[in-house]
Structure 1
Amino acid sequence: MVFKRRDRRSPLQILTELVYPRGGWGRAFLYVQHRVRRLPDSPERIARGVGAGVFTTFTPFYGLHFVIAFLVARLIRGNILAALSGTFFGNPLTYVPIGIISLKTGYFLLGTRFDEGRHRSFFGKFADASRDLKDNIIALFTDAHPNWEGLRVFYHEIFFPYMIGGLVPGIIAGVVAYYLSVPLIRAYQYRRRAKIKAKFSAIKKKAQAEADLGPKAD
């Protein structure tokens, strides 16, 4: 196939690049930034898309961030591709602080607090929920009885506070991303149009000069 990778990656390489992409996160960020600036749309619509993508990273719907970003961008009339690129804000380097901020905000808004000694630890609740989910799927095809306790605890103590708490910092981060993106995108588009205009002007002058010289004598 024409677009097939020549260097086939092993499963370990694929997993490693999800955590730390080839060239580093700095280079990956610059690439996404460059692609966003070159989108053929108004600075405001592109910036709204970026804001939608950044907001989405504060939601607990991991694995569905592209879908959420798409829906939010449609709702606020932002650029869809910019929204998908904006989800890059959420990565293995930022998910931990995003999760902590969202959870603590959620506990504050709900008037609750996270108790490590209650039921299980933070990571223990994730493990219990994952085990219940796996066992309940198996129970659909066997005589085993489903158990929802781990999922129930995870929902009430992790997922719901995360979902509620992520709204406030998510909106703030999205708005900040919008106002930072608009002038940067506008300046980039202005410089790009100026370069294109200068290039065509040079071509036009060259063609005009050649026309003025006329056909060369034999």
Structure 2
Amino acid sequence: MVAFILLGVSLSIVPRSVSTCCLPLQGQSFMDVMTSLSGSPKEKRFQQMMVSYDAISQKFAQYYLTTPEGDEVNIIEDYPAGKVYNWNRDTCRVYKSGAFQNICIPAEAKFVQKTFMGVAPEIISLDTYMLRQKNYTLFYRLGFNCTFVEIGASSPIIPQPDGLQLYVFYNMTLGIKDPSVFIPPKMCFKNASHENRQKTLFPTKSHH
């Protein structure tokens, strides 16, 4: 059973097709990443990140704020420059970025649940979509304007005791207050290793 936090009361679990739903053009959000949701306290793992997305300038940034290991990799994808910068405290790698893609809910995902959260009169409607792939079952919980609230992932290949991961988004704002979040550290321009592009966390759709 997928360990996925439900916000509110279920109204519908009848699958149906979903039309294309993409993130707003610009936005920033904090995100908690939790794994081993049903494991022992020693197995549980928590990370906090900040993600920034700008479809106008075609850039994406992902920063780790807290993590048990203290040395996770940060990412900036600069599509106009054709580069992805991937670094930790000591090393920066540069990848080819490929073509820019919007972050969207895949068209083959199915609507499975409508829920609500908040206190009246400020009630927020949430829609949940499910996507089954070869090795993964993904659940997307969406709020207003196709913004992410939660993403749940279940897979036997996730390197955790129960094969579960949960991504919780909060303090989301539209727009980019500080464009410097898309500027890589200086070490990425000195002796950086160049490799092929790596995959990112979120589902994408080609930008036209």
TM-score by length of 2: 0.23
Higher strand content, 1 or 2: 2
Q: Which structure has greater helix proportion?
A: 1
